[in-house]
Amino acid sequence: MRMGIKKDFDWEYLGAVLAQDGDDTQAAFFKAFIKECKSWGTNHQVELQLSHINSLLTEDEKETLKMLSYTAGDD
C-alpha cells in the first residue's frame, strides 16, 4: 500500500455506511480499491491479497459478492 492507513477505523461502521450509500459511491470505492491494488506491481500480488480476503469470508458472503464479477455470458 502506498500510503497505508494511519488511524484505526470502525470497518463495520464504514461498511454499513457504504452499503447504505448509492451505487455511484460504492462503485467509486471498488474502483479506488482496484486501482490501489494494481499499483503494487504484479497481478500475482493482487491475486494473493484477494485470495487471502476470500479465505476470511463466509460462503454466504462469497455468494453475495459474486455479482461484482458477473459478466454477460457467465450463465
Residues near 62 by beta carbon (within 8 Å), at least 6 away in sequence: 54
Residue 16's pLDDT is 97
Q: Summarize pLDDT for 12-42 with one digit per residue, the tens.
A: 999 999 999 999 999 999 999 999 999 998 9
Question: Cell numbers of 50, please?
Answer: 484477494
Closest C-alpha to 54, from 66, 43, 46, 62: 62
Residue pointed to by grid coordinates 455468494 = 63
Predicted model pTM: 0.80
What end-to-end distance do the CA atoms of the chain give, in Å?
Answer: 35
Question: How many whole angstroms separate alpha carbon 32 and alpha carbon 27?
Answer: 9
